[in-house]
Amino acid sequence: MSSLALMRLLESTPDRYDAGMRALTLGRVRELREAVAEAAAQPGAQVLEIGCGTGSVTERLLARGARVTALDQNPEMLERSRERLAGRTGAVEWLERTASEIDALPEAAYDAVVASLSLSEMSAGERAFVLRAAARRLRPGGVLAVCDEVRPRRAPQRLLHGLLRVPQVLLAWLVVGSVSSPIPDLAAELRSAGFSVRAERRWLWGSLAALIAERPA
């Protein structure tokens, strides 16, 4: 997730990725991933995962008995997922694709769509396209479970978060030449893609969020 500024760098070194994520989120990443996996996975549920990375959420979905189509555009991250879950070949399908390409997957075929820390890596335009395409992939009543870096709601939290991000942003700009920003209003983006938002939880001064939404029946 480029919005956690150093993510592009970490994604170029998948071996260090998981440890890097834990450090950048002060350990909260585990709770974020648990929240989305718990909301999305039931035994036998068909789940589409966008931006599976090294497979941390995929592993949780499979452990809860879901069948998963896991997609990522980065072949190295996808390979790490495949290695990690080598024994689970029957229950998971790996796709090396960009998120926008979910548009080619069957409509109304999934019980849940999951995106953990991947939406913030997309431009606002791509994210809007992907969210609308995700809604069409879901069966009526299906669940969208997402978590990501977001803009804190309150001014003091925004100020604190901004100050804490300064060293990250500087380092990212120096090392990878790009800087991005947290998603301004993820709940509003979900609503304008046709979802109804059922729940939202926040961590780290409101800068990390998990949102559970539904495609209306």
Ligand X SMILES: C[S@@+](CC[C@H](N)C(=O)[O-])C[C@H]1O[C@@H](n2cnc3c(N)ncnc32)[C@H](O)[C@@H]1O
Q: Which residues bind ligand X (CB under 6 A)?
A: 1, 7, 11, 21, 33, 51-53, 56-57, 72-74, 77, 98-99, 116-118, 121-122
Q: How far is the CB of 99 from ligand X (least distance, A)?
A: 4
- Structural contact between residues 31 and 56, judged by C-beta atoms closer than 8 angstroms: no
* Nearest position to ligand X, beta carbon: 53
Cβ closer to ligand X: 154 or 201? 201
Which whole-number Å values give the CA distances from 114 to 8, 106, 120, 170, 214, in the listed order?
20, 16, 14, 30, 12
Q: In the block, which residue shows the tokens 């979802």?
A: 195
The residues facing 212 across adjacent strands are 145, 199
Which whole-number Å values give the CA distances from 123 to 3, 108, 196, in the listed order?
11, 25, 22
Q: How far is the CB of 108 from ligand X (least distance, A)?
A: 22
Cβ closer to ligand X: 52 or 141? 52
